[in-house]
Structure 1
Amino acid sequence: MTRAVIYLPDPTSRAAAATQVAGRAMLVRTLMTAERAGVSRIGAPACLRDAAVEARIAANPRLSAAVAWLDRLGAEGARRWSGGPLLLLPANVLLDPLSVRRLLAARDPGDGIALEESKGSFSPILLAPPALSAAIWDHLVQGAPLGDELELRVRQGRMTLVVGAGFFVPVLDEATRSQAEATLFRSLGISADSRVDRMINRRCSRWLTRLLILLPVTPNQVTLLSLALGLGAAWMLWSATQASALVGLALYMLAVVVDHSDGEVARLTFQESAFGEWLDFTTDTVTHAGLVLGMGVTASHVGGSVMVLAGACAALGVILSALFARFLPEEAAREERLAAVLKGLGTRDLFYTVLVAFLLGLWFAPPVLPVLVGLLAVGSQGFWLTCLGRRYFGGGLRPPDLGDARAEASHLCGHPRHFRWRG
């Protein structure tokens, strides 16, 4: 069983532990970092306990099961904790869970392991050997400052140093608090982000997320707002005029920004869930299916009622493609040319291109609309059929591994709230 203890580096770090960074106290973020890194039990000194912290812990079942207050361990519990290795985490440092995982995975020759980035900070992160755990146990329980003593242990050179895999930001004052918050927001991108996502959508969503984390809203409520905007966009494309089509494009762009924010809010406020992931997936799928169906209805004014059928075919293809796209593994997409093409066709950038092409066709060349809808119908059906072929003949599809996804989403989430067309 891996145990961690939160410690205070210096007398000012108690106040720093209560500092709010992106809507959550630093202590809560440190506790969640340890839990996400795979630590089974996390101890904290009583001096850091208050009603707000206890409420945050109680609201998170995973955290509630992992956290123990050191003054409540009892004699036998204190003996077990102090008699074994302890992961020591400063209460005022913003840290990537991947760095903690790397530290825990390293081989300890017996003198302890320290995170190299923390050396010299007087807030070292280290895996203390049993002898050190026992020597400083009383100080840990009392919440006495330990930064200088632990820094000296690291500088003596006997500990193994491990290079981390992410950020390390001590929060000491308002300047470093702002730096920590900026670091968190910069880290909100995901591997599925397209070029437009990175250049436009993610930048806009971060501003929205800064507001949302201060409000009493849940990520799922944000997802439902995105759905409402997406359905509004689809309605604007239903028998669209030039003006309504432009409004539909604007609503879709806004829906995408909100769609990015739901996952950001979930990761920043520790409200990720498997249900939220599937709600987000369903929302995206319904929105895109509704958009192409609306395009088909509009195209029917030029190409006849058969275009409604073509739009329905395209919508069905979008739904099936979204389902099959979830089974395209990231590593296969990097290794296989066909998988890379499929992933490229599944990005939101392509859908933006389709919407702009539809808008330009409606404005300047209405006879082109039936051709565009026909291509959508053929292309969307071809996408999922190609995925199906790879499943049965290429062995390239497998269900997504949520454990791997947790590792990739790393510092901010356990269940990434995204799929191919969202971020």
Structure 2
Amino acid sequence: DHLFDDSILRNLQQIENESDCCILCVDRRLNGDHFNIDDVTKVWLENKKVKGIGKELDRFNAVDTGIFLCSPVIFDALEKSFSQGKYSLSAANQMLSNRGKLKTYDIGDNFWIDVDDRETLKKAKKILLKQLKKPTDGPISKSLNRKISVWISSKLSHFNINPNHLTLISFFLAVLSALFFFLGGYPKIVTGGFLAQLSSILDGCDGEIARLKFKQSKFGGYLDRILDRYADSLIILG
């Protein structure tokens, strides 16, 4: 139920961790709206060391992001925690902390959100859709295409659709557009222009769906680039 920027994991992998220690990713931004303060696991830190962890803490200066880098020592802590009738990961982490075996990593300004209810689910969806926009988008894409494609992708994301299928549909529309341009005449040229624009919009949807549903692949990227070039050439020739 956690959504986060994958750069957090990449940064975490760069940390040299001891074989008998675990690392807990924490967030010191306590005034954000990306978690429910009444439900989140709270952490009290002193000199980057965990002095207390749990949902019922009255005194805290960070929150648990739900991201860990664990070593086998976590299993021993869990067994001891269970033997004491404490069946939570926080209890095991507290045991590690008491032994000086729990380190922390501050995620800084990196994005994460704790999705526990419908309200945070809506926020997570909005954030994901907002991240679909690219800084390299041109004027037409920013003002028209991307707005429409993101709306379409938000609806299609609820279905089991393959991004490559959208790539093929976009290419098919481009072929139809080229055909209408080739046939000539005002009505056909207008239709060709409409189909070319629709093809361009759907061409953005395949990548958006791939990122939204974590279905990105080298083949999908290659197919998209190749068919884009063919589509552009056919429309120009038409």
TM-score for both structures, normalised by structure 1: 0.42
Pairwise CA distance, 1:171: 0.6
The aligned counterpart of 1:391 is none
The aligned counterpart of 1:212 is 156
CA 1:224–1:152: 2 relative to 1, 3 Å? same
> Is the contact between residue 226 and residue 256 of structure 1 (CA under 8 Å) also seen in structure 2?
yes
Pairwise CA distance, 1:192: 4.2
The aligned counterpart of 1:114 is 24
The DSSP-based 3-state class of the residue aligned with 2:128 is: helix
Counterpart among 10, 14, 17 of residue 101 in structure 1 = 10
Alignment of 1:25-64 (within 5 A): none
Are residue 171 (structure 1) and residue 115 (structure 2) matched? yes
CA 1:233–1:266: 2 relative to 1, 3 Å? same
Alignment of 1:331-342 (within 5 A): none
The DSSP-based 3-state class of the residue aligned with 1:125 is: strand
The aligned counterpart of 1:233 is 177
> Is the contact between residue 26 and residue 106 of structure 2 (CA under 8 Å) also seen in structure 1?
yes
The aligned counterpart of 2:35 is none
For residues 143 and 15 of structure 2, the distance between their equivalents in structure 1, rounded to whole angstroms, comes to 37
Are residue 277 (structure 1) and residue 221 (structure 2) matched? yes
Alignment of 1:324-363 (within 5 A): none
For residues 168-222 of structure 1, the C-alpha deviation after alignment (integer angstroms, 9 at most, x for no partner) is: 0101110011111212222223454333323322221111112222334321211
Identity %: 25
Kindly indicate whether structure 1 or structure 2 has the higher relative contact order, using CA contacts under 8 Å at least 6 residues apart. 2
Larger helix proportion of the pair: 1
The DSSP-based 3-state class of the residue aligned with 2:132 is: coil
Pairwise CA distance, 1:138: 7.3
For residues 23-42 of structure 1, the C-alpha deviation after alignment (integer angstroms, 9 at most, x for no partner) is: xxxxxxxxxxxxxxxxxxxx
The DSSP-based 3-state class of the residue aligned with 2:133 is: coil
CA 1:146–1:197: 2 relative to 1, 3 Å? same
Are residue 127 (structure 1) and residue 36 (structure 2) matched? no
> Is the contact between residue 27 and residue 64 of structure 2 (CA under 8 Å) also seen in structure 1?
no
For residues 215-274 of structure 1, the C-alpha deviation after alignment (integer angstroms, 9 at most, x for no partner) is: 343212111110111112212221533333232222111111111111122222233332
Are residue 261 (structure 1) and residue 171 (structure 2) matched? no
For residues 170 and 148 of structure 1, the distance between their equivalents in structure 2, rounded to whole angstroms, comes to 20
> Is the contact between residue 102 and residue 164 of structure 1 (CA under 8 Å) also seen in structure 2?
no
Are residue 184 (structure 1) and residue 93 (structure 2) matched? no
The aligned counterpart of 2:41 is none
What is the total number of aligned residue pairs between the two structures? 201
State the AA in 2 paired with 1:103.
Answer: L
For residues 257 and 136 of structure 1, the distance between their equivalents in structure 2, rounded to whole angstroms, comes to 51
For residues 274 and 230 of structure 1, the distance between their equivalents in structure 2, rounded to whole angstroms, comes to 23
Query: CA RMSD for the aligned pairs?
Result: 3.3
> Is the contact between residue 115 and residue 163 of structure 1 (CA under 8 Å) also seen in structure 2?
yes
CA 1:107–1:212: 2 relative to 1, 3 Å? same
For residues 213 and 164 of structure 2, the distance between their equivalents in structure 1, rounded to whole angstroms, comes to 12
State the AA in 2 paired with 1:121.
Answer: V
For residues 371-392 of structure 1, the C-alpha deviation after alignment (integer angstroms, 9 at most, x for no partner) is: xxxxxxxxxxxxxxxxxxxxxx
Are residue 242 (structure 1) and residue 186 (structure 2) matched? yes
For residues 164 and 120 of structure 1, the distance between their equivalents in structure 2, rounded to whole angstroms, comes to 11
Larger strand proportion of the pair: 2
State the AA in 1 paired with 2:63.
Answer: S
For residues 177 and 206 of structure 1, the distance between their equivalents in structure 2, rounded to whole angstroms, comes to 18
